[in-house]
Each structure stands twice: as C-alpha cells, then as structure tokens.
Structure 1
Amino acid sequence: MGWWLHGGVWMMMTTTIIYFVNAGDTLYYNWRVTYGDITTRPSLGILINGEFPGPEIRSLTNDSLVIHVHNDLDEPFLLSWNGVHMRKNSYQDGVFGTTCPIPPGKNYTYNFQVKDQIGSYYYFPSLDVQKAAGGYGSLRIYSLPHIPLPFPEPARDITLLIGNWYRRDHKTLKKILDKGRKLKTTPDGVLINGQGLSYVSTLTVEAGKTYRFRISNVGLQTCLNFEILGHQLKLIEVEGTHTVQSVYTSLDIHVGQTYSVLVTMDQPPHNYSIVASTRFIHVEHSMGVNLHYSNSKGLKIIHARRPEVDDVEWSIKQAQSIRTNLTAFGPSTDPQGDNHYGKMKISRTLILESSAALVKRRQRYAINGVSFVPADTPLKLADYFKIKDVFKVGSIPDKPRRGGEMRLDTSVMGADHNAFIEIIFQNREKIVQSYHLDGYNFWVVGINKGTWSKASRRGYNLKDAVSRSTTQVYPESWTAIYVALDNVGMWNLRSQFWPRQYLGQQFYLRVHSPGHSHKDEFPLPKNVLLCGRASNRTQDYHHSVDP
C-alpha cells in the first residue's frame, strides 16, 4: 500500500495498478472477479481482487480509465458505471443492451474517459441481480488542480456505500424472479461498506476538523435515510453537481443516488452513531458505524433516530430544497449555471408511467404498458451491424395508453441528437420509485404530489434545479426532468429498483445522429465482444463469445 500524487491530488494505491503523470492521463486497473465469503452470508459473495466492496477508483477530470476485468465466476459478468457519462461511447456502458457479457473464465478491457466530469459515482454488476452479492465499488472524479472548489479542503475524504441486503444469495433471488414472484419489500438488513450488524466498525475523527462523506445507495430496492446524530450535514455535491450548501440533520438517499456532505466534528467528545435506516417500509432495519472522537475519554454512545416511516411530505420538501450552486465551477472554469437550461425550447415531452401486473401468471413491471424483454443480441451491436428483427425503434409510446393490457417487447424509443426534451415520471403506485438514465445528467425541475398536467410547469424550477442522473418519484406523485440529448448512443432508462428493472421496468433511448460521424460517436471498439446474432460478424472483429 502506498500514496501517489496525481495532478495535485494524493491517491492511495491498494491492489490497483496506477500509471499517470498529469491530468488527462491514463489509469490502468487489473481486476479479478471471484466468489468469496463475506460477512453477511457464508458464500457467493462477489469480490473484486478479493475485496468487498471492490477497489475504489480515484481519478481526475478527463482521465482515461483502462480496466482489465478477469471473470473467474461460473456465470457471465458485466460492470456498469453509475452516473459516468461515457461520452460518445455507449459501447462501454456495461449493460446488456449495449455490451456482451464477459463469459466465465474470460476477460475484457473497459476503456473510457471521464470526460468533463467531477464528483461521486460507483460501479456495479448489471446482469441479473448480481449486485445483491457485491461486485460494486466507489468511483471518484476529482477536480483539476486549477479549478477552485466551493468549500475548504476537508481533513479526510470518506466513502460510504450503503444499501439493503438479503440473506439469500443472488442466484436464489434470480430464481424467485424467474418464477414470476416478487422479492419481499422488507430486506433482511442494511450494509455500510459491506458490513452488517455482525460487524460494527469504528471511524476515528479529530475534534474541530471537517470531513467529507460520499454516500451512495447501492442497494436493490430500498430508500435509506442517512444521519450522524448530533452533527449537521452540509450538502456540497450530488452526482457531479456542486449544490447550494444547505444544512440537514439527515438525508433520504434513494436507490442509485449519491450525495457528498461536509461534517464538522464540533460536538462533545463521545461516540456517535453514523446510521443508514430503511425508509417508507413499515419494518425498520438500520446499520451503524461508530464515530469516535480521538479525544473521547468515555464510552458513551449517542444512537441515531430517523424520520417517521411514512413522512413523504418531509422527504418531498427536502428534495425540492436541493439546488445547483450557480457560482461554483464544475469540471471547467465556467460556472455551473451557464447552461441556461430554463430558456431552451422543449422539442418533445415524454410522460412515463410505471405499472405492475401479472402476465401469464408471472409478475412483470412496465413503463407505458410495455415490459422490457432482453433480446438475444445487445441492441447497440444489432444497430451497428444492421441486424434485423432484434428491436424496433418506436416499440414503446411517448405517453401511457389507458385500458390496454401490459405487453412484452424489446422496447426502444428513438430520439434525435441535440434534441431538448422534457420527461415526466408519473407514479400512480403507492411506493417510492427511483429512475436512472445512462449517458446523461438531467435537471430535476419539478417534484410534487398528484397527477402532472401542463399547469404543473408553472411551479418548475427553471433557475437552479439540481443536475443529476438518478431521481426519485414519490407515491402517487410526479417528477419532471429536462434532458439535453447531446450524447449519441443507445442508453438505458431504467428503474433503479433492481427487481423491477429485471422484470421489465426499463427501455432503451436510441439517440441518433444521421451523419454517423466519429465526432458524434466513437467507432466500435477493436476489442469488442461479439455474441448472439452478432457472433458471426467476425470478418473485422475477432472477439466472438458464446451468447
């Protein structure tokens, strides 16, 4: 283990191989994916280089990441990069709609640039429900040294990966879903950095110093509330956006979301609980980390509390209060508010409504009445090689259709490059939901209860709405977002509730440029894996794998 200086940022080296000189350099990683014992269950944890969670990636804006992944599992494996934009490069996105899985015993090298991004993200296995077994880790993108931060340098930068977990292994959970049954909404517990109640870790801090916490909800389907009792959380960043530095006593962190907060250790020297607790379900589970002041002489422990389980109004008000810091610099020397998104003309409005139903006596979930069925060939490869009958653009409507039965299809929606669109997530169900769009950040311009209408636009935040890649939608409520479609590719729009995603609550947005220019989209990678009906396209690409 050692420390390296990268563009003015000290980086810790563990099992990762890193080579760099200046900002915009290439970082090389060599990862081996295996099964192994983890503290929450006796077997079938997914480890990367023997670690759970996996190694943390620390990079600078505009660095290139070359990640060589060896799959030593007995099943295919894919890694996806939650919130990383993959500019012009959906081939590296790591979901089955764009990428062939890495077969057992094989390897693949991801190669992408964290172009014009800063902030806190994570990676995770995207196939089946493998993320229930681990295989995830943190990904940080630091600002370039000459870009000033809108807050003082913290004494330490700490990552906390939180999420729900189930005692049953991921293969058993997959069998339950494949039989058309639901996973129970109440998990068996909560994890923080891979640790459950059988192991409570201690974090030692120094009185008077300020620490940065990056918190990601990497779980399957449960919103979690985060709190450090007795301490205030100053929000500074959400998924790559510097925020207005509002202060909270706790934060609701929905599935797939990441927040960064500053916490000053200004309380009497005791032991305090850092706690992640389940929200919006009626059986509480929580997991704590012991926050220990180094000058504490006693063993007194201050335990945490959480908001009322059904306090949706409290959570909505908190969500509405999170805004972009317009005076802060993002990845460049331009203030983050210079995009003027509120003055751009909307070219198209999508209204996306979730639903749940039994199809042939099996549980399915849908968007606008279409439940997604994976094709036998990644859609991006079928598009590139012009393979017919894999998918049809327009197989999902722009708006929900009343009265029709849920249908199964490989749903793909077409969209024009550089269009500026409005998306309404309408939730008529009685649960909180969470949605993510690969390849993009979007502006969350409105969140409210009830049914959206055109009059709802009068309440939009068109000045300093937060820009992020995952947003929540509250029970019997709506969320409105604006998206500038400036990234050509095949992009997954999905529920972050993974059982719902697996059983159909997703589709692909094909952002198309008729010019087919490499200025708009990178060419097919030379090391591309080929599978399904693309397996025989080996005249130019010789990395074919079994489907």
Structure 2
Amino acid sequence: MKLKASGFWKRFALFSAFAAVVIVEAENPYRFLDLNITYGDIYPLGVRQQGILINGQFPGPDVYSVTNDNLVINVYNNLDEPFLLSWNGVQQRRNSYQDGVYGTTCPIPPGKNFTYNLQVKDQIGSFFYFPSLALHKAAGGFGGIRILSRPKIPVPFPDPAGDFTLLIGDWFNRDHRQLKAILDGGHKLPSPNGILINGHGPNGTYFTVEQGKTYRFRISNVGLQNSLNFRIQGHLMKLVEVEGTHTLQTIYESLDVHVGQSYSVLVTMDQAAQDFYIVVSTRFTEQILTTTATLHYSNSYKAVSGPIPVGPTYEIDWSLNQARSIRTNLTSSGPRPNPQGSYHYGLINVTRTIKLVSTAAQVNGKQRYAVNSVSFVPADTPLKLADYFKIGGVFRVGSISDNPTGQNMYLDTSVMGADYRTFVEVVFENHENIVQSWHVDGYAFWVVGMDGGVWTPNSREEYNLRDAVSRSTTQVYPRSWTAIYMALDNVGMWNVRTENWGRQYLGQQFYLRVYTPVNSTRDEYPIPNNALLCGRAQRNSTTPF
C-alpha cells in the first residue's frame, strides 16, 4: 500500500521542526574562503592559452567543508568581463539567490566582488564548482568540492590513507571567446583537442601513494561535452559514493563518468612497487582521445611501462548495465545518523509526470537546441529577481509544457511552474544518436529507470523502487530514456539544463519555479542583503531589502 503524499509531508514537517530546534541550540561552524579570479597563461596541451585562474591556480583550489557548515566565499572578479561561479550538485536549501547562474544571480562586474553565503545543509560527498557564464568553463575557473561527514556520523568504509580530487574533462586549444563566437555564429562546437586530468595533458599529473594502503579518488567530469571512461592500470576500483549518496560497494575495472557527474572510488595499492597509468578516454566518439596521469608508488624505482590499458569504446549496453548497477547503500548513514534506506521514495504517490524531449534544429538560420520545442533565451533580468520584485514581462510561468508539443522549435525564456511539496516523475527522452547528460540545480533525485527506445507508462514496470541512487546529474543514452523521481522540497527558481555546454548555451535548458504562497523563512530565505542588482531589477528596486 502506498503512502499518501500528505502523510509524507507531515513527517517531513515534524523533522524540519526538530532540525530547526537543533540549529537554534547550536549554530553550525563557519568557514571563510577568498577566491581571486584572474587571467593567466596556461599550457594544458602544450599550447599557450589565456586561462581563468583561481588564486593563481588552474584548476582552482578545493573547497573543503563538513555537513551543515556555513560557507562564506568571497569572489573577487579581476577579469575584464562579468563572471559567476556555480556549485554543481551542492543544494542551496531555500536559497536559489546563491545558485550562481544567470537566471538567479546577477553577474559580478569586472573589478568587483560578491560574497556567497552557502550552507551545505544535510549533505555529504563529492562535487565541483565552475564558471557558469558564456564559455568561461572552457578556460578553467573550476575546482573540487568535498563535504565530509560529521565526526559522529558513521561512514561505511575505513578512513583512507589519502584523498585525491581528479578533475577530468575534454579540452579545446581555442580561446573561450573563439568558442563562444562559433556558437554565436550559429554553428556547433568542434571536436575537442584533448583530455585533461587536473589541468594537465598526457603524463602531466602524479599521485604518490604507499604500497598496501587504500586511497580515495574523487572523480568529476568538468568538461564541455564528452563522456569519459576512467581506469587505473593493474588496479580495481570500489565505488563508495556518487554525488552525495553512499553506494553499494561494487568493484569496477573502469567507470564511465558523464559530463557534470562526480564519483568516489577506493583503490588499494596492492601491486608490486612500480608506477602505473591512470587513464581517461572519450566514450561514444569515432576518434578516441586519451590522456594519462601517473600513479607513483613511493617505494617504486620503475617507471610506467607496457601498453596503456584499453577501455570500452562504443558499447552502449555495457555502459547502460554499469549505470543500472550503481545502487544506494541502504544500510549506511547519509548526512544524518539514520540509514539512507529509511526514506521510502518508492512508496510515495507521484502527483505529476513531466516528459522532457530534447531537440536540435536551425532557428533563423542558426543552430539551436531545445527542450519540448522551446529554446531558452536569457532575459535582461535574472528571473529570480524579477519574481521577487514582481517585475512583469521578464518571464511567464508555463512557457514550457510538461510534455513535448510537436511544434517547431521556437525561442522563449522558458519557466515551468511547480508546487512546493509535490512529488514528481520526470522522464528525459533522447531521440538523438548522442549521450546526453542532465542536471537539476537545488535538488537530488532518484534515478529510477533507464532503457532504450521510447518511454511509455508500461516502462514503470522496470523502475527500481527500492535502492535507486540519489544524485543531481544523470545520463540519457542514445535513442533512450531515463526516469527520475524528485521531491520538490526546495522553494526557489532552479536551473534544469543539459551539461553539454554548447547545447546549454544555445538553449537546451529551462527554469523550474518551485512555489509556495506562504511567505516564510522556514520555506525560503529572504533576498540577501548583499544581492547584486541588474537589469530591470536595478531600476525597480528599493534598498535595503
């Protein structure tokens, strides 16, 4: 027998009230971080480029925190153009003003700074930050985020001997402005020139380990468009966490990491003392691009040798089966001291089904991409600010439908309305011959099913309603579908986008407005006192807020 949604939300409200009491009694720690954004020369593939550095680094420094920490991140924009940072997978609970995408946040002007105030409320795991405007992501400006469990919360594996961040991604030798000009001219992005591991091309990165010990590797695909396969010569990987969820500890020889996704694996250094290849290569491409790093045993006097381990190439079924094998560890605790399986998502009634179909077409002679026929165009004012100040004419709720309409592609500032505390099913359907990757800001969702062909209501018979993994980014295979369940428990204006950045830039995104008529800080934080104002919000606002 299924639980009614109302019963679920009553229990949720009781838990929220308890959590509020805990917060009042003992405020969570604050962590302060300054991020200085500059241009600088980089040579990731041996070609001089103007990169975006953070604190003089490419990639930028890791952001460290513990569950429920308050992060005060002061970003200084020393570029000659506006800049924004976004937090891929980190949920801004009740606070979409801090999301760092143009639909919610005004860009930081050149020579100015902005302070993000984030709380990693009830989160653990591996994520990353990145620049969200234009094609800045193609120049760098990204870094890892790790949210550690509180000391009293058990973690389902022993502390590793070391913890490494690996930012992998495709890379272009062209300047980010040149890539933007290609898209503005109505063309698709070219193929990338190579693959990077932590900002370096082949054999540019070393990881030193001790024989016999076990290490954690946090792997994030920060690239623009390519799915990547990750593997380590002579070593097996034990998957332990995916974007904030402890997983069943399955062993893999290699792991597909799609654009925008993050994984944590444990690797035991159980081989003879020598150096080994760490290998990353493109998936589902005619020309396979490969790069390597070095796993260096501290007692090794033997360099890497032998052929670079070959990974899978175009085997979609192999990748699909691997994705299905990634499940939640129901016996482990998450950010709170209760088993992750105590939340029975499969017993909650779905109140709405949303089917999203992506398309590619020419509009006015230029390449565009769309969701349900609508190709998103940014407004002159961030949508969240227009909503707050009640500025008409910026966007219209309902400008994108719940289902594909069959219309020709057209341009609009697409916003989908949704009610707070509803439980929805979202189906991503891919009619193209590419792998797609989709992300929802402000949320984690359960990936309940994926398969080839066209989704029908009968596809629900295949759903995993017991231990599906909860995450914020999911892939959709060529001519296939992926279904997710999502509890709309986070009020705000949230970006739903493809992680293929050229497609995102050319319209394959929209905003989900999760709304409640109750004006309460319990449901949504007020606009920050330091909020930047721009567009029509600047002309219509009165300060202080």
Do 1:229 and 1:303's aligned partners in 2 also have CA atoms closer than 8 Å?
Answer: no
1:153 aligned residue:
159
What is the CA–CA distance in structure 1 between the aligned matches of 2:41 and 2:305, rounded to whole Å? 30
Could you tell me which runs of 5 or more consecutive residues in structure 1 were left unpaired when the two chains were aligned. 1-21, 543-547
RMSD: 1.2
2:467 counterpart (447, 464, 468): 464
2:258 aligned residue:
254
Q: CA deviation at 1:187?
A: 1.0
Which SS does the other structure have where 2:322 is aligned?
helix
1:163 counterpart (159, 162, 169): 169
2:473 pairs with 1:474:
no
What is the CA–CA distance in structure 1 between the aligned matches of 2:189 and 2:327, rounded to whole Å? 34
Structure 1 segments of 4+ aligned residues over 3 angstroms from their partners: none
Count of residues in Structure 1 that have an aligned counterpart in Structure 2: 518
2:80 pairs with 1:67:
no
2:18 aligned residue:
none
1:424-443 equivalence runs, <5 A = 424-443=427-446
2:121 pairs with 1:115:
yes
What is the CA–CA distance in structure 2 between the aligned matches of 1:108 and 1:335, rounded to whole Å? 38
1:38 counterpart (32, 38, 42): 42
Deviations 1:108-146 (A, max 9, x none): 110110000000010000001101100000111000000
What is the CA–CA distance in structure 1 between the aligned matches of 2:418 and 2:27, rounded to whole Å? 34
Which SS does the other structure have where 1:50 is aligned?
coil
Which SS does the other structure have where 2:317 is aligned?
helix
2:10 aligned residue:
none
Deviations 1:45-103 (A, max 9, x none): 00011011111111100000111111110110000000001000000000000000001
Which SS does the other structure have where 2:514 is aligned?
strand
Deviations 1:159-184 (A, max 9, x none): 00000000001111001000110002
Do 2:328 and 2:468's aligned partners in 1 also have CA atoms closer than 8 Å?
Answer: yes
1:19 aligned residue:
none
What is the CA–CA distance in structure 2 between the aligned matches of 1:105 and 1:459, rounded to whole Å? 53
1:38-117 equivalence runs, <5 A = 38-40=42-44, 41-117=47-123
1:337-356 equivalence runs, <5 A = 337-356=341-360
1:196 aligned residue:
201
Do 1:228 and 1:304's aligned partners in 2 also have CA atoms closer than 8 Å?
Answer: no
2:234 pairs with 1:230:
yes
Which SS does the other structure have where 1:383 is aligned?
helix
1:366 aligned residue:
370
What is the CA–CA distance in structure 2 between the aligned matches of 1:69 and 1:297, rounded to whole Å? 43
Deviations 1:349-391 (A, max 9, x none): 0010000000011000000000000000000000000000100
1:6 aligned residue:
none
Do 1:227 and 1:304's aligned partners in 2 also have CA atoms closer than 8 Å?
Answer: no
Do 2:275 and 2:300's aligned partners in 1 also have CA atoms closer than 8 Å?
Answer: yes
Deviates most, 463-472 or 285-294 = 285-294
Q: Which amino acid aligns with 2:487?
A: A
Q: CA deviation at 1:396?
A: 0.3
1:382 aligned residue:
386
1:148-547 equivalence runs, <5 A = 148-184=154-190, 186-197=191-202, 200-402=204-406, 404-541=407-544
Which SS does the other structure have where 1:58 is aligned?
strand
Q: CA deviation at 1:401?
A: 1.4
2:178 pairs with 1:136:
no
Deviations 1:456-499 (A, max 9, x none): 00010000000000000000000000000000000000000000
Deviations 1:21-52 (A, max 9, x none): x9921111112100001122423200011011
Do 1:69 and 1:108's aligned partners in 2 also have CA atoms closer than 8 Å?
Answer: yes
Q: CA deviation at 1:296?
A: 2.2
1:8 aligned residue:
none
Do 1:23 and 1:62's aligned partners in 2 also have CA atoms closer than 8 Å?
Answer: no
What is the CA–CA distance in structure 1 between the aligned matches of 2:528 and 2:372, rounded to whole Å? 34
Q: Which amino acid aligns with 1:510?
A: R
What is the CA–CA distance in structure 2 between the aligned matches of 1:453 and 1:167, rounded to whole Å? 43
What is the CA–CA distance in structure 1 between the aligned matches of 2:104 and 2:312, rounded to whole Å? 41
Deviates most, 367-376 or 25-34 = 25-34
Q: CA deviation at 1:271?
A: 1.5
Which SS does the other structure have where 2:181 is aligned?
helix
What is the CA–CA distance in structure 2 between the aligned matches of 1:99 and 1:200, rounded to whole Å? 36
What is the CA–CA distance in structure 2 between the aligned matches of 1:345 and 1:196, rounded to whole Å? 49
What is the CA–CA distance in structure 1 between the aligned matches of 2:438 and 2:301, rounded to whole Å? 46
Q: Which amino acid aligns with 2:263?
A: Y
| Structure 1 pair 344–301 and aligned structure 2 pair: CA distance change class (3 A) | same
2:132 pairs with 1:126:
yes
What is the CA–CA distance in structure 1 between the aligned matches of 2:398 and 2:542, rounded to whole Å? 31
What is the CA–CA distance in structure 2 between the aligned matches of 1:481 and 1:202, rounded to whole Å? 38
What is the CA–CA distance in structure 2 between the aligned matches of 1:373 and 1:288, rounded to whole Å? 38
What is the CA–CA distance in structure 2 between the aligned matches of 1:230 and 1:541, rounded to whole Å? 60
What is the CA–CA distance in structure 2 between the aligned matches of 1:180 and 1:326, rounded to whole Å? 47
Which SS does the other structure have where 1:521 is aligned?
coil
Q: CA deviation at 1:297?
A: 3.1
What is the CA–CA distance in structure 2 between the aligned matches of 1:297 and 1:387, rounded to whole Å? 67
Do 2:294 and 2:304's aligned partners in 1 also have CA atoms closer than 8 Å?
Answer: no
Deviates most, 260-269 or 413-422 = 260-269
Q: Which amino acid aligns with 1:224?
A: L
Which SS does the other structure have where 1:415 is aligned?
strand
Q: Which amino acid aligns with 2:193?
A: D
Do 1:270 and 1:301's aligned partners in 2 also have CA atoms closer than 8 Å?
Answer: no
Q: Which amino acid aligns with 1:165?
A: W
Do 1:221 and 1:255's aligned partners in 2 also have CA atoms closer than 8 Å?
Answer: yes
What is the CA–CA distance in structure 2 between the aligned matches of 1:529 and 1:297, rounded to whole Å? 55
Do 2:70 and 2:118's aligned partners in 1 also have CA atoms closer than 8 Å?
Answer: yes
Q: CA deviation at 1:284?
A: 1.2
| Structure 1 pair 487–362 and aligned structure 2 pair: CA distance change class (3 A) | same
Do 2:451 and 2:482's aligned partners in 1 also have CA atoms closer than 8 Å?
Answer: yes
Q: TM-score, normalised by structure 1?
A: 0.93
What is the CA–CA distance in structure 1 between the aligned matches of 2:403 and 2:304, rounded to whole Å? 56
What is the CA–CA distance in structure 2 between the aligned matches of 1:147 and 1:23, rounded to whole Å? 18
- Give the % identical residues: 62
Which SS does the other structure have where 2:517 is aligned?
coil
Q: CA deviation at 1:540?
A: 1.4
Q: CA deviation at 1:300?
A: 4.5
Q: CA deviation at 1:299?
A: 2.9
**Which structure's residues are more often helix, by fraction?**
2
